[in-house]
Amino acid sequence: MYLAAETDLGAVLAHIEQLSPELLVLDSIQTVAAGGTDGVTGGVSQVREVTSALVRVAKRRGMAVVLVGHVTKDGAVAGPRTLEHLVDVVLNFDGDRHSGFRTLRAAKNRYGPADEVGCFQMTDKGIIEVPDPSGFFISARAAPVPGTCVTVTMEGQRPLLGEIQALVAPSSAPAPRRVTHGLDSGRVSMLLAVLQRKAGIKLHNREVYATTVGGARVSDPAVDLATAVAIASAASEAAFHRHVIALGEVALSGELRGVPALERRLLEAKRLGFDLAIVPEGSTARVRGIKVIESPSLLAALELLHLRGRPKRHGVESPGG
């Protein structure tokens, strides 16, 4: 491995001619300037010229080039979008700063699929691959606990098990707090309204906290049902059979909508020992070894799990458990 502290494109190209490397990593592209090109370092013209020159050298030599770019707070590549148009592949490496879990996603792939996801974990020995990340996002416990529900999300083409946890507490404030972590706050607020209006669970005078396990960020609408079930379980202080997963998008009417790649999600749940799945009505996916119960609405799903009415004793099992 050869290291060079250079910010001039000409010097970088000279090192390439001298060493003929198989791989070039440039960190970062916004700090390199091309002599004879107008514009400030990191500007549109400079980024275009530097990237184009490196692309030409890479194709002529058959050399792999990795260009590292700064990102904004939103996770997008900083500066002009020219860089993303010129390269063949755009990879995003991100994760929660308070969690050791990291994901590598392909935002663009000119010669292959762009829906694959790599999972890694930060350790004291460096970054290591997590070949089976599903267990990373669910907590291990011997008995059911109120306020939890497991679901299956899709990260590209990879199904991942995720656990939603919720806590509902009394509040005397005029506007009770609604705190989320790893979930879309607007979507959780919508689910709270549906739970109160369509399922009769009073939440207007109670604080609600909802989070994911392991610091995962979930935006898949298929987790709506699991989130609503976790909140209802916390509100009634009732636990249910722990080998249950819930899948479905919740509409404002309280109906459950179908989710894509259902069979793949069920196969992942079965592989990790789950034997009962609650899915939207009309779902045709079936997997041997896991019982699938169709539910037309959120209210019907809650009734299946005995999450309406008076609080149940902890450990109440759902149908099929």
Q: 289 with 267: CB under 8 angstroms?
A: no
**Measured between alpha carbons, how far is 153 from 160 in angstroms, rounded to an integer?**
5
Q: 222 with 154: CB under 8 angstroms?
A: yes
> What are the pLDDT tens digits along the chain (321 aa)?
999 999 999 999 999 999 999 999 999 888 999 988 888 888 888 888 999 999 999 999 999 999 998 777 666 666 667 788 889 999 888 776 767 788 888 888 998 887 777 888 888 889 998 877 766 667 766 678 899 999 999 887 788 888 999 999 999 888 999 999 989 999 999 999 999 999 999 999 999 999 998 777 888 999 999 999 999 999 999 988 778 999 999 999 999 999 999 999 999 899 888 999 999 999 888 899 999 999 999 999 999 998 864 444 434 344 444
**Measured between alpha carbons, how far is 277 from 321 in angstroms, rounded to an integer?**
11
Side-by-side strand order, sheet with 244-246 = 178-181, 206-212, 158-170, 148-155, 244-246, 276-280, 291-295
Q: 246 with 278: CB under 8 angstroms?
A: yes
pLDDT value, residue 132: 74
| Positions of CATH 3.30.230.10 in the chain | 136-304
Q: 65 with 103: CB under 8 angstroms?
A: no
* pTM (predicted TM-score): 0.71
The reply to whether CATH 3.30.230.10 applies to domain 136-304 is: yes
The pairing of beta strand 148-155 with beta strand 158-170: antiparallel
